[in-house]
Amino acid sequence: MLSIVFIGESVAALLALAPGFIGDRWVYFGLASLMTQWIILLTMGLLFVMRHRLSAMKPLRVSWIALGILVACSGIVATGAWYLMEMGLTHLDVSLPVFLVKIIMIALLVGMLGLAAFQNHWQARQLAVIAKQAELEALTARIQPHFLFNTLNAGASLVHGRPEEAERLLLNLADLFRAALSGRQEISLEDELGLAKGYVEIESLRFADRLNIHWDLPSPLPDIKVPALSIQPLIENAIKHGMEPSSTCVNVEIIVRAEQNDISISVLNDMPKNKPTVVSGHQVGLLSSRERINALSRGRAKLDTRIENGRFVAVISLPVEP
């Protein structure tokens, strides 16, 4: 509102400062400002009344409709202003048709400039959306093969010794990838946790009693949307960097906490004792997850990591929509 009012005042100032004008420029600026603000208020008021119908149209079509409304309101206000001034407020040395054409042409010129600026902005926004979508697809393409290779390796290790469990693993893998490759960018927290539990079941077949998974979930689960494939990579990293370098039992804990203003999803894993922490391996999972979570949530959610009491902690923080 303030931006549009400022633009209207700028147009009135340009008209008052135009060369060749004879008379009091302050009076002319006041009259031009009054007309401009009435045109703006009428135009925005009509757009507000029509907002439900306009919301179903394409943005560029709405911009052309807005231009038409601006020109129509300019004609109505110009006609009313001409008659008021002719009735005694002041006298114009110009006929109504000429005055009307001048005002409409000014409104049309300003509207076309605004329309061109909007079209450039819209095209830039569309290109940004396309670029972000390509970035998300690239990040997903980095995560999914990484998970697939690890899972197939787990299945290969079970084929000879435990063929029934290998078959179960492949069936779980099929169900898991059917959900992971659905193309949805956001899914419910319940579905995302179900995806993570499917992965945990696969890894439990691989590591048997060495892997101790603890789920600390509220009942019922919060009914919110989360970025798809955001929790599973964190659990994968917890298992990979907590379990694989260690020969003892490793605890991995998944905690969901629902607060008034946000929801936190924490994944904690024991770190190997007396062994160097592998950092490079976190690149695919954590960095890609952080970028995907930030992009899919449009910057509202974040992923933080830290080492606390000998445990590696990854926390996803999601704001609760009002």
Domain ranges of the chain: 2-126, 159-319
Looking at the chain, the whole-number percentage of residues with pLDDT higher than 90 is: 6
Q: Please identify which residue in the block is written with the tokens 């945990």.
A: 200
Confidence check: pLDDT of 144 > 70 = no
| 163, HSE (Cβ side, Cα atoms, 13 Å) | 1
Instruction: State phi, psi for 21 to the nearest 5 degrees.
Output: -80, 135
What is the structure's pLDDT at 215?
93
Most confident of 43-57, 103-117, 223-237, 266-280: 43-57
Confidence check: pLDDT of 313 > 60 = yes
- pTM for the predicted model, two decimal places: 0.52
Q: For residues 201 and 242, is the Cβ–Cβ distance under 8 A? A: no
Say whether the peptide bond before residue 245 is cis (omega within 30 degrees of 0).
Answer: no
Confidence of residue 281 (pLDDT cuts 50, 70, 90): very low
- Percentage helix, strand, coil for the chain under 3-state DSSP, each rounded to 5: 65, 15, 20
Least confidently predicted of 23-32, 97-106, 186-195, 210-219:
23-32
Confidence check: pLDDT of 278 > 50 = no
CA distance 175 to 143: 17
CA distance 91 to 321: 57
Confidence of residue 216 (pLDDT cuts 50, 70, 90): very high
Q: What is the mean pLDDT of the chain?
A: 77
- As its CATH architecture, domain 159-319 has 2-Layer Sandwich (3.30)
E-assigned strand segments in the chain: 186-188, 211-216, 225-227, 250-258, 262-270, 302-308, 311-319
CA dihedral sign, ordered 196, 210, 154, 308: positive
pLDDT per residue as tens digits for the range 45-86 = 998 999 888 888 888 788 888 889 988 988 888 888 778 777
